Amino acid sequence: MSRALAPREHVPLAPYCTLGVGGPARFFLEARDEATVAEALAWARRRGVDLRVLGGGSNLVVADEGVDALVVRIALRGVSAEAAGRAVKVTAAAGEPWDALVAFAVERGWAGLECLSGIPGLVGATPIQNVGAYGQEVSDTLVSVRALDCATGRSVTLPARECGFAYRDSRFKSGEPGRFVVLAVTYRLAPGGAPTARYADLERHLAGRGRAPTLAEVRAAVLAIRRAKSMVLDPDDENRRSCGSFFTNPVVTPAAADRVAALAGDPAMPRWPQPDGRVKLSAAWLIERAGFRRGCTDGPVGLSTRHALALVTRDGARTADVLAFARRLRSAVEARFGVRLTPEPVIWGPPPAGLDAGA
């Protein structure tokens, strides 16, 4: 090892998470280069403790008990670009703020990320969640992921075909969770390419222009839509203490979708046909139809006043409160429609009873 690491002990994690709740890390370290990440893995192995990776904390729920592990906060920075035929390959370090990278691409006229504007967090999280919004997913443009393989201690480059991408999922999230630490991500973008503007909300926002929108206009529209839903980080927003969408939109068979519409008595229920023949439903719509209105509260937690899919916390909230409220939502939707919602954020700590993804 090139130098001795000195992780801090018993560091509160709540300040590093957008929900603002959660206990401490047994050990905590900030990594500003790849060598430190590798050294942290070796340090954790020697001491027999788990290694956990912290990014922007915008998709993370930490148990009140904290986590008995070495938590490494990824702070690797740097962006580079190179021509690749008619495309451009952009490589960003895992610690780069995601929205800044989107702005970087849009300002240069490189299409492919514009609909992913305003999403909080860091670049390193994007392949893990296969981040997507308004008609685009990271997997649409991702070329490769550079990562530390915790099984071997070596850095590897994984092409997109080996990342196991699916709807809000990947090899990193559910295939082999904890095996890889993302170090950098490479995307293939289209210089001078047309923006993606096929999502209904986005089309409505951009309607009436009499011409095709520019990349900058699509980005501005996405930011405006997200801001109206409190889905951007804004210190003045009453809904700011949130981790965004708490559940993924369920994907069901066409027969199941028809059954849900019949139970709701609403043939106009929002639904989106998927390439595999199944149908995506709106989790927010299901939550509201199960009896939970925007802005409703249960003690120090509740739903955002602007979006039924975002759980928010107030002063005095604990993680146990968040998970209990999430279980209430999930149980109500399942009782009303027979559809089981799956949590989207990563949950650190003891498996929360009745809320694990496979429950």
Catalytic residues: 168, 245, 344
Query: DSSP of 299-329, one letter per residue?
Result: TTEEE-SS-TTEEEE-TT--HHHHHHHHHHH
Query: Which pair of tokens denotes residue 62?
Result: 């930490």
Among 351, 313, 309, 352, residue whose Cα is nearest residue 333: 309
Count the alpha carbons within 13 Å of 188 in the hemisphere toward its beta carbon. 12
Query: Which pair of tokens denotes residue 184?
Result: 């950098």
CA distance 36 to 123: 18
The single-letter code of the amino acid at 125 is A
CB atoms under 10 Å from CB of 199, counted, come to 17
Q: Using DSSP, state whether 355 is helix, strand or coil.
A: coil
CA distance 30 to 99: 21
Q: Using DSSP, state whether 275 is helix, strand or coil.
A: coil
Let me know: does 240 contact 230? Beta carbons within 8 Å. yes
28: CB partners within 8 A, 6+ apart: 7, 8, 9, 11, 13, 70, 71, 73
